[in-house]
Chains A and B, each alone.
Chain A
């Protein structure tokens, strides 16, 4: 029983780490007012690129670096369209998804199924790892887990809410006209944060192939990008809630693990569906639970609206 719980928790943590990382990246983008719907495509590209780099003989750190750079590049492309040209964010995001998923499938066709030659090292935290049930699941994980759940969200939270830069960034997502009139370079900052968000998303994809399922197959990302998008809304655009929510969403994946281990008589398809149904359910629950009189979500007011200084 203990083993089962630990196993489930471990799966949840690892599955959720991918969501937390991608979610944090998307949060950065949405906090400056830009929807990046291309998460699925970005994650696919990150995943496949990580496999290629690692199987060419490099270590995981190099892979991570290259994948991060790829994310910056793709993010820049997306930002040129949505921030500079002010094209429709939804269409560009979906286009990026198609492009990313399709391109990744094509590039990765000769790598399909190959076991990855290197994986992220597990970092074990002494003492804490000996806590029953929780210990091994929470404190014997790869660096990326600690990064996704703790380091990054805490960092983002501190920057957003405790620094003057954070006020600047949040104001762009709430009222870009006010930010502009205060001398803040709205377009420049939007561009940078969209790039950064994309880079985190590709890194999340690399985590899929370098730790979670250490191999690439077509369609590997399987909608996690969209779940991450749901996570950001569910978390009300707050970094620490993204982290907590990610574990919650991650547990949806871990039931399948438990079922398999215990031979439960429920067809596996139910567990395949669980993450998606669960995400929709969580969104509904959160929306309904909001107190009367308040809007359902604390959405940055300018999210999705391109900013024009000269709008007549």
Chain B
């Protein structure tokens, strides 16, 4: 604690914390996290006596090496783009939509309801109705958490997540009970919905470009509109937003409703583009994966596209490895590890270790203010 001699240090190492980090530092941090993650995952897999090199090469060739693989990746990317967008939109105003899976289910449910019980009609019309129903349903499902957060200070993390369980129970119940398809007794699913998203020429469905367009569109909207500006300010500093006359609570509500709507839409797209039946478990963790996607995109709306692509590849590899004994939940664990490392790396990047010089530099021109 005390020392009897105190030598004046004129040079040495010191740890400082930077108030903001630039893109370069962040990129390096992400790269280090990524490499560390690869090492840990590879290490873990080989510990479990998987032949890592073979697995990885096989996964890459299956996923990216064939047109079928690419098509699959894109198909996986469609819902991920939307759920990632949903979480990113909420993140902009510093709100967490952890329940995107729940809104996904409610969107799929509403779309299935329209598709199964409304009188038949032309495909384009029905698909549009289903999309609207899905969006509304997703938004309604997040309404209660949104009100709780905006007006009662109830953590939206907890409420959105709890409602996810409710939604997944509901869908499972309907799919295996009242709405069950009697002609396919082995599957706990509804009848096949006759409206399908049109396929594009290489087997992927229309939902993919639609999702992409939505990401780009929202990116533009958030960066160039007044509403997007207000959201950004409110997310950065509530007090400054109120000072400028921005209605913060209303914006929180609006951002969350949009977030819910997008997740609901993801459910509809998955329903009409891939599975064609409402069934339990169809959310496939897409909603949960939206969180690391938005985190990796670090708040940038348009960055969601790249992040979703990355996770789609990852997910596809995971699926292809199922045959080798890796379960779907392993993907979740691996994703969690990546998220953890990215969050830790970003925080670590703020620390800079610098060497104190013996001679002090001149005082900077902008003026010292302490």
Contact = CB atoms under 8 A, between A and B. Distances in A.
A and B are interacting partners: yes
A223 B157 CA distance: 13
A297 B332 CA distance: 33
Given A91-B295, A102-B336, A283 B159 contact: yes
B268 interface: no
B321 interface: no
B173 interface: yes
A233 B154 contact: yes
B236 interface: no
Contact of A269 (B17, B169, B347): B169
A37 B157 contact: yes
B152 interface: yes
How large, as a class, is the contact surface on chain B? 35 or more
A101 B162 contact: no
Q: Which of B16, B154, B337 has the most CB of A within 10 A?
A: B154
A273 interface: yes
Given A95-B343, A102-B334, A273-B170, A287 B153 contact: yes
Interface string A122-162: 00000000000000000000000000000000000000000
A41 B161 CA distance: 14
B158 A229 contact: yes
A94 B165 contact: no
A106 B50 CA distance: 14
Given A88-B347, A277-B166, A283 B340 contact: no
A280 B162 contact: yes
B158 A295 contact: no
B154 A106 contact: no
A90 interface: yes
A223 B336 contact: no
Contact of A90 (B96, B169, B330, B335): B96
B8 to A, nearest CB: 21
A180 interface: no
A230 B333 contact: no
A296 B344 CA distance: 32
Which of B295, B338, B347, B350 is the most central at the interface, judged by chain A CB atoms within 10 Å of its CB? B347
A194 B96 CA distance: 22
Nearest to B326: A106
Secondary structure call for the A interface: helix
A96 interface: yes
Given A94-B291, A273-B166, A102 B343 contact: no
Contact of A287 (B154, B161, B329, B339): B154
Contacts of B96: 90
A280 B149 CA distance: 12
Interface in A199-231: 218, 222-223, 226-227, 229-230
Nearest to A295: B153
Given A81-B343, A90-B157, A101-B329, 7 more contacts: A96-B340, A102-B329, A102-B330, A223-B165, A230-B158, A276-B162, A284-B148
11 contacts: A81-B340, A91-B339, A91-B342, A91-B343, A94-B98, A102-B330, A233-B158, A273-B170, A279-B162, A283-B158, A283-B159
> Across chains A and B, which 8 residue pairs bring their CB atoms closest together, nearest first?
A102-B333, A98-B336, A99-B336, A87-B347, A95-B340, A102-B332, A105-B329, A95-B339
Interface of B: 16-17, 19, 96, 98, 144-145, 148, 152-155, 157-159, 161-163, 165-166, 169-170, 172-173, 177, 288, 291-292, 295, 327, 329-340, 342-344, 346-348, 350-351
